[in-house]
Chains A and B, each alone.
Chain A
Amino acid sequence: MSFINEWGPTIWTGFLETLTMTSITLVISVILGIPLGVLLVNSSNQGLHPNKSLYTVVNWLVNIFRSLPFIILLFLILPLTKIIAGTTIGIRGVILPLVFYCVPYLARLVESSILEVDSGIIEAYQSMGISNGKIIVNVVLREARSGLVRGLTITTIGLVGATAMAGLVGAGGLGDIAYQYGFQRYQPSVMYATIVVLIVLVQIVQTVGDICAKKLQRD
């Protein structure tokens, strides 16, 4: 009981910080990542609008950012973060690196779930005289939605992990608490408590994601 009284507020704050970083990043990443995934699929050779140079550039960029561990990315784009976010510390300062980390990841998952969609369906809609743009939005993304939700679930969990590093720039979060108190001040019980919260959080995200994906599947 006394543990909760003593550490509860700290952990709760950390939990809220993690939640804030994750959700803001996720919203921005969905807005950017889904179109980027669509772009990857459609500019490729088999896509609806093949464009070799565009595909090559986007593909390379995605690969480059996917090769960087978050902690490196965080420092690598510091100058850019300063320009865009106005600061490099706190939650404000960590969103941009998280977006840079998350978008290429999500784009790849979007790409693979779109590729799962039966090309015959696209052809059927083309044969009805419907434009490619409408087909992408109303047919392809709709049919891929179950896979998209699964991809989003994976991304969210990856993101929760990445936010653990956010403490390095003073953005707080559960990971930061576990590191600060558990490792640096040697208070393992605090570390264990945050780990339990993280595990529960990840379990909830995964379970909700699975249920939604299953509901959307229909076959």
Chain B
Amino acid sequence: MILVPITYKGGVFRHDEILDLIEDMGGYIIQKHMIAQEVVLQALIPKEDIETLRVISRPLAGEVIPAPLVGTEIAVVSMSLEIHHLPHASCDIAEYLRTAGAKTNMVGLARGFGKRIGLMSDEERDIINEHDLAIYLFGNFETCIKQKMPTFRRGIRVPIIVTSGFSKEALMKIIDPPAAGYVGGVGRFMHRTKEPEELARLDEIVAEVSRVVDQKRATIAKDPLSVAPARLMDIILETVPDIHEVTSPIPVVVQTDGVRVKLPYDPYARKIRDIEVEPGIRLADICDFRPSRMRDYILMKVKPFSETGMLV
């Protein structure tokens, strides 16, 4: 069964039927937003059932849109959290990626600015490494990016997409060894992105991110994960009652190869480790548990089939 990421937009009226339908299909609801009279669902559903969902939701004025980034957690790395980069461009990009279904976290570096003086701490590096992908929002000068890029990629294991004010081609030329993706024309700017060509650039970022995420998904598919992260999320939501007390909008964040559980590591990691997924198979057998550098959350990375010999 191939699960595809979608966004469902519809009214509040009878939306519980849609929730049930997605569950009955064998799909997973990653995120549910209720905004006044509207419900927005980010979900993964079986490919062959998209049409069924469309047909059933039509009388409820529901809309099913493909959202390539559902089930990914992306770090939008801004060189600092000062007025030079906020709210435009950092927030504009982070917000736009959310419309494509991604869960974006903004990482504002403490000393990321400058050409010679730009630095990245080990905490920042570890946090970026917990994501599926990182987008580096660089500035408008080639000289600076060329000099600071080696510092900022040191120790980063996740794919990096680099954006800058000048062209993609120039960016490709100065970054060596190559990064996973490039987007030109989005550097430092201090106005809101509302002109068509600026929005087209944001679309370009979404396309580039999707391309890199798809590559990552394809690599994972060659050696499938012991359990689908979305299923893992479902298991935790069902078996750990305390997760429903968490006030975060998304208490369990789904990534391409794991989940982030927003419960403190010390009291809960052991309990979650011992959860039986199927008779004789505990979560500890199929997942790596790590304390996250983000607050004291639990980071679970699913082991591949080749390592466990199990497919749940």
Q: Do A and B bind each other?
A: no
Interface residues of B (CB under 8 A from A): none
